[in-house]
Amino acid sequence: MAGLHRTFGIAARNFTAYPEIPDAAALVDYGVRMEELGFDSLWVWDHILLGVEPNFPIIDSLTLLTAIAARTSRIKLSTGILVLPLRNPVVLAKQLSSMDQISRGRMLPAMAAGWYKREFDAVGVPYEQRGKIMDDNLEIMKRLWTEDVVSGEWTNHKIPAGVMFPKPHQAPFPLLIGGYADRVLKRAAVDGDGWLTYFYKPEAFVESWTKVRAYAEEAGKDPDTLMNGNQLPIMIGESRAAVEEKMMSWLNVDFDIAQGSKSTMDSAIMGNVEECVEQLKEHLRAGVQKLIFVPYKYEMSQIEIIAREILPRLREFKD
């Protein structure tokens, strides 16, 4: 399967803290600029309703990626992550296959079961059943993408004869699964094409990735075909001490850590260029294939340093 070599992606700021509102046109321009700077993939966040006090205005992930697809030609387009149980799987299968056609095979979505109960209640999806719903949705979508006629009954869906064309441009259409519990790691290995995590330190990544590979082997699947990725916050400055307070302050406002996961704010890459490169090499040595940067406040000055001074050194790195 394609994509097993090391690649370097960048996150987009499609959600903000109220009263700031995301600028849709600026986000599309940002996607174009990230392609120009040489990033391999662009990752957007996904929620429908996020927060009350404070609330976080957010531009819909798939709508934004479609607009960026129309303005770019090389960069992969990714969700990190799409909350799958909130979406109707038949409608989503059609949407993603259409997006893959529009982008000429550049979609690389990651999906997870979700954690924010209030959002599930608003959409009318039972939160306690999200794992089962996710499994059903994955099966329905994958079958619609690969079979000429789909028939079957699931908890919430009856499809006597479903015909969906065009199929995605990519065959097979790649899906990463996000999450941290063992049953989710198994889902990533068996039902997905790999695993996406965020804010994982190298040792925690190795522990979970080893499980993912073992689950694949148990299922008779070649673990070497699986992809993985880690989304990592990064801030470059004169030294770690010079940037740490500002970085931690921002992370603690804009990001949540799932209880029970090994995600930690301490995963943040901080320091001068040399120090950041060395910290990132630890992740490459740990087996991370897709390093996805979450730059401090998405500042263009930070992003340009990553593109010009860090990416070339990571691309030439050999273990």
> pLDDT digit string (tens) for 104-161?
999 999 999 999 999 999 999 999 999 999 999 999 999 999 999 999 999 999 999 9
101 lies in a domain? yes
Domain that holds residue 258: 7-315
On the question of a cis peptide bond just before residue 81, with omega within 30 degrees of 0, the verdict is: yes
The token pair at 285 is: 């040595």
Within a domain: residue 239?
A: yes
Instruction: Give per-residue pLDDT as tens, 93-104.
Output: 999 999 999 999
Is 22 part of a structural domain of the chain?
A: yes
Banded pLDDT at 294 (limits 50, 70, 90): very high
pTM as predicted: 0.96
Q: What is the DSSP secondary-structure string of 151-170?
A: EEE-SS-EEEEE---SPPSS
Residue 3 pLDDT greater than 50, yes or no? no
Amino acid at 219: A
Report the pLDDT value the prediction gives residue 138, as an integer from 0 to 100: 98
- 175, 139, 212, 281: CA torsion to nearest 10: 10
User: CB under 8 Å to 200, separation ≥6 — which residues?
Assistant: 208, 230, 262, 263, 264, 267
- The reported pLDDT for the residue numbered 5 is 87
Q: Provide the pLDDT confidence category of residue 259 given band limits of 50, 70 and 90.
A: confident
φ, ψ of residue 148 in degrees (nearest 5)? -70, -40
Report the alpha-carbon angle 308-273-195, nearest 5.
80
Supply the pLDDT for residue 257: 87
Does residue 1 sit within a domain? no
Angle at Cα 16 formed by Cα 15 and Cα 22, nearest 5°? Answer: 70
Q: Answer yes or no: is 50 within a domain.
A: yes
The Cα angle at residue 112 between residues 226 and 30, in degrees rounded to 5: 85
Whether 268 is covered by a domain: the verdict is: yes
- Provide the number of structural domains found in the chain: 1
The torsion of the CA quartet 125, 197, 74, 100, rounded to 10 degrees, works out to -30
